[in-house]
Amino acid sequence: MWFPLAICNNLDFELPLKRSWFRQKPDAAIPARSKIESKTLNPTKVRRDKLNRLTDLPNIGPSLAADLVLIGLSSPKDLVDRDPYEMYRELSVATNSYQDPCVLDVFISITRFMAGEDPKPWWEYTPKRKLATQSM
């Protein structure tokens, strides 16, 4: 039995009715970050000349980095020309669970950052995402 995602943000894809509320992270080893490195989560601390790992991106910590690895992205350059809505769909299908809509906001923030925009907190994309998904 399939459950339409239209109930969750009006996005156009379906997942099986049986779903896990507790997502399991992939086995990819995401190294523990030091206090200095973890500050890169803050968009104001991101440096474009130091984008070597997914966790060097704004708004990306170890958990979301593991999610990006799960959908086949291993470095920041892999985000160039990616569609954040498609990434969100891929992650939902890969984990067989609905993702928090804020994950989509984070995906929008990092794809726009890689497209050349200034780094911004993920929540600045929430109003635009809500408008975009209402019409879907």
Is pTM, for the whole model, over 0.85?
no
Distance CA 97, CA 42 (A): 27
Q: Give residue-wise pLDDT tens across range 45-98.
A: 888 888 999 999 999 999 999 999 999 999 999 999 999 999 999 999 999 998
Q: What pLDDT is stored for residue 50 in this prediction? A: 87
- 8 A C-beta contact, residue 76 and residue 69: no
Distance CA 50, CA 15 (A): 37
Q: Is the pLDDT higher at 6 or at 63?
A: 63
Residue 134, pLDDT above cutoff 50: yes
Residue 47, token pair as written in the block: 């440096």
Q: What pLDDT is stored for residue 46 in this prediction? A: 86
Instruction: Look at residues 94, 21, 13 and name the one whose alpha carbon lies nearest to residue 4.
Output: 13
11: pLDDT confidence band, cut at 50, 70 and 90? low
Q: What pLDDT is stored for residue 48 in this prediction? A: 86
The number of residues making up the chain comes to: 136
- 8 A C-beta contact, residue 84 and residue 107: yes
Distance CA 38, CA 33 (A): 6
Q: Is the pLDDT higher at 136 or at 118?
A: 118
Residue 106, pLDDT above cutoff 80: yes
Residue 28, token pair as written in the block: 């990819």
136: pLDDT confidence band, cut at 50, 70 and 90? low
Residue 68, token pair as written in the block: 């990006």
Burial of 1 (0-12, 13-18, 19+ CB in 10 A): exposed
Residue 109, pLDDT above cutoff 80: yes
Q: What pLDDT is stored for residue 62 in this prediction? A: 93
